[in-house]
């Protein structure tokens, strides 16, 4: 019952062959139906090969090895930075900082803000504004910062249909606001937030804007300048790259004013026993041996996505998401959490089924080879907002087919019958 | 595929899930604990009430609970209360130990039906590492609550 949907990537079956894992089978000979890409994406052969090639032929430490391999490794590592800079439209490659993951990127910002002096310093009476739909990694660092500095944490609430409630924006973002940090695309509700509009308001009061683009970078064309962000974080493994590497992009003026994060090798200009001076960006924030092969793999990953085209990937996601919303609506007792209009949301769809706990849903689906996520998806406050303890989440990506959505819907029907709800 | 699922979701488990025994929080109680499974968010609030029986043996008079979670965690709480209510505390602790061994046995432990009764239905859960925590949530809460009243388990054994 596969339909011809407008917007799907052409030759999807050929594209799927780029991802070796998609052809494996699971217990009982079940083909894999991977619908957990918001958790982590699968990797194309080119990323795997690029990383293997680096380890087999070019491995050496970067920036400190005065030999041929060191030069090759440094070039490949810094090449990864160039590719990431191009992928997000960064005005300067130096504004791209490699971290361990998006969580570390956000914690880097929150921690260096805690140590900042001058304009960026945060203290009693100051406010940090986040939203109720954040991933825990964009909540907890700000709780830590405001607790440590005696500042106040405030947040945008959510509307019943899973959007940011902007009705009190003028009350929330005020002269006291120092930081506004929000997700571009919700990992639970799928909502795409009006980041540029909120950034405009934040800049009017002189606040800096931090954007968690962990779910946006995989599926939307990202132009960091147009986004309105001052600082923007995402992770490598959700953009078909490896784990162990994340990206913090920041406007040079902001990064230059933030103090160093971790101290160590490579982040210094000179060191004496009394004091040290620090390297310029990006190295100021990259102490120690960086994730070298991961940066090389991330470069290959974003090149792969750019080659397919982020506009095309976005259109594919929208087509699959619309098809999935349509299919899920046919399952009795199923409620989607978040916007129901595919053009207003990303490809992560969380839902509840009356009478079956998400764990049990995921377990039954897994027995049919269908991988989804069950739980609170590191967004407990957003679940509380909708009065649910946990949910089941399907998330698609550029390799997802309508047939896989059909398999999910069939699997959910089977789940209902297994738990005798039909 | 369905056989594996059936090994996990035994009829007994689904029955306890749909019709949990002893559910709801009751008075009196000597201790109340709240346990969560941080990875999935399952939660249980559990109370224990114990009293010395006429023979001088400390008995589990009541275990009451309020919980949210999956079929495995809900059924497991229900089975726990069936097994321990009315038993001497040290015997209940031995049942706990036996259930723990079963759950941590990766499917290689033969359950003793004499001791575990309906809880033998959870033998299949031990083969699903991701679900073992679900099955143990209320059991760990019960042990925690009980020990907070009677003190470390060594004390119990020494007093035998």
Planar angle of CA A140, A214, A148, nearest 5 degrees: 20
Give me B38's structure tokens: 């941080």
The string of DSSP letters for chain B reads -HHHHHHHS-HHHHHHHHS-SSBB--S--SEEEEEE-TTT--EEEEEEEEEE-TTS-EEEEEEEEEEE--HHHHHHHHHHHHHHTTSBHHHHHHHHHHHHHHHTTTT-----HHHHGGGGGGGGGGG-HHHHHHHHHHHHHHHHHHHHHH--HHHHHHT-
According to the model, what pLDDT value does residue B158 have?
A: 43
From A326-330, A335-339, B45-49, B121-125, the region with the lowest mean pLDDT: B121-125
Which is more confident, B4 or A406? Answer: A406
Q: Has the ipTM of the complex gone over 0.85?
A: no
Q: What's the mean pLDDT in A204-224?
A: 98
Looking at chain A, the whole-number percentage of residues with pLDDT higher than 90 is 92
- Whether B68 contacts chain A with CB within 8 A: yes
Chain A hits for B71, CB-CB cut-off 8 Å, are: 356-357, 359-360, 419
Q: How confident is the model at residue B88 (pLDDT cuts 50, 70, 90)?
A: very high
User: Which of A357, A376, A389 faces B71 most closely, judged by CB atoms?
Assistant: A357
| Among B5, B40, B69, beta carbon nearest to A364 | B5
- The structure's pTM equals 0.92
Mean pLDDT of B97-117: 89
Residues of A identified as active-site = 378
Q: What residues of B are in contact with residue A383 (Cβ under 8 Å)?
A: 41
């Amino acid at each position: 019952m596969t339909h011809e949907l407008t917007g799907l990537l052409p030759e999807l079956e050929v594209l799927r062959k780029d991802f070796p894992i998609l052809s494996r089978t699971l217990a009982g000979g079940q083909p894999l139906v991977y619908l957990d890409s918001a958790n982590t994406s699968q990797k194309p052969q080119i990323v795997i090969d690029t990383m293997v090639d680096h380890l087999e032929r070019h491995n050496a430490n970067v920036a400190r090895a005065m030999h041929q391999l060191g030069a090759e490794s440094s070039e490949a590592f810094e090449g990864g930075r160039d590719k990431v800079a191009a992928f997000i439209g960064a005005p300067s490659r130096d504004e791209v900082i490699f971290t361990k993951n998006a969580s570390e990127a956000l914690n880097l910002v929150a921690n260096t803000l805690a140590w900042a002096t001058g304009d960026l310093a945060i203290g009693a009476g100051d406010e940090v504004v986040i939203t109720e739909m954040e991933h825990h990694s964009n909540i907890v660092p700000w709780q830590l910062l405001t607790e440590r500095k005696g500042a106040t944490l405030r947040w945008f609430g959510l509307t019943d249909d899973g959007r940011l409630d902007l009705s009190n924006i003028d009350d929330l973002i005020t002269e006291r606001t120092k930081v506004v940090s929000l997700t571009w695309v919700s990992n639970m509700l799928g909502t795409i937030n009006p980041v540029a509009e909120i950034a405009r308001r934040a800049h009017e009061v002189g606040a800096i804007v931090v954007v968690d683009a962990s779910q946006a970078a995989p599926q939307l064309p990202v132009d960091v300048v147009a986004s309105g962000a001052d600082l923007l974080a995402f992770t490598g493994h959700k953009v078909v790259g490896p784990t162990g590497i994340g990206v913090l992009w920041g406007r040079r003026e902001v990064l230059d004013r933030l103090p160093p994060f971790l101290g160590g090798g490579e982040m210094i200009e000179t060191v004496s026993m009394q004091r040290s001076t620090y390297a310029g960006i990006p190295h100021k924030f990259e102490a120690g041996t960086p994730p070298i092969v991961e940066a090389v793999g991330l470069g290959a990953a974003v090149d792969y996505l750019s080659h397919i085209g982020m506009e095309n990937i976005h259109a594919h996601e929208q087509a699959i998401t619309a098809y999935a919303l349509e299919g899920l609506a046919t399952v009795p007792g199923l409620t989607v959490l978040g916007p129901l209009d595919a053009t207003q949301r990303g490809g992560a769809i969380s839902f509840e089924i009356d009478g079956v706990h998400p764990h049990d849903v995921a377990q039954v689906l897994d027995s049919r080879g269908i991988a989804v996520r069950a739980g609170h998806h590191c967004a407990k406050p957003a679940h509380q907002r909708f009065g649910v303890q946990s949910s089941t989440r399907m998330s698609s990506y550029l390799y997802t087919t309508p047939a896989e959505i059909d398999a999910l819907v069939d699997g959910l029907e089977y789940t209902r019958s297994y738990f005798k709800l039909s | 595929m369905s056989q594996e699922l059936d090994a996990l979701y035994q009829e007994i488990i689904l029955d306890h899930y749909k019709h949990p025994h002893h559910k709801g929080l009751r008075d009196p109680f000597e201790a109340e604990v709240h346990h969560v499974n941080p990875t999935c968010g399952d939660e249980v609030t559990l109370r224990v009430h114990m009293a010395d029986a006429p023979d001088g043996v400390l008995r589990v008079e009541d275990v009451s609970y309020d919980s949210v979670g999956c079929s495995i965690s809900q059924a497991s709480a229900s089975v726990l209360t069936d097994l321990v209510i009315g038993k001497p505390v040290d015997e209940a602790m031995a049942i706990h130990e036996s259930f723990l061994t079963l759950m941590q046995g990766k499917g290689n432990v033969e359950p003793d039906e004499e001791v575990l009764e309906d809880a033998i239905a959870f033998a299949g859960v031990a083969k699903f590492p991701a679900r073992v925590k679900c099955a143990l949530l209320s059991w760990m809460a019960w042990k925690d609550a009980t020990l907070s009243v009677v003190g470390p388990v060594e004390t119990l054994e020494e007093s035998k």
